[in-house]
Structure 1
């Protein structure tokens, strides 16, 4: 995003990361590893915030 070469890739990458974090949380739930679910949720929420901020109604 700093170089402004292809700014559409930033929200797409954030969307991919959010989807991956949801999948990682599901895998950790199935493996009964509750301690490592919290970082997945935090990173997923941060990525979802970026997606909402870039694709949402009030994109910044």
Structure 2
């Protein structure tokens, strides 16, 4: 797991802990709201692995 993934996971956990309050989450994390939004946006933009079935 990369540092970026850990940062995103931690930010999401803090956000969950404060009930979705992004201002409070950013304060707890010691980052700007802009940076928090960037972390959350990056988390949703990551491609997910998909499994495709070959046609038989």
TM-score, scaled relative to structure 1: 0.38
More helix per residue: 1 or 2? 1
Quick one: higher RCO (CA 8 Å, sep 6+), 1 or 2? 1
TM-score, scaled relative to structure 2: 0.40
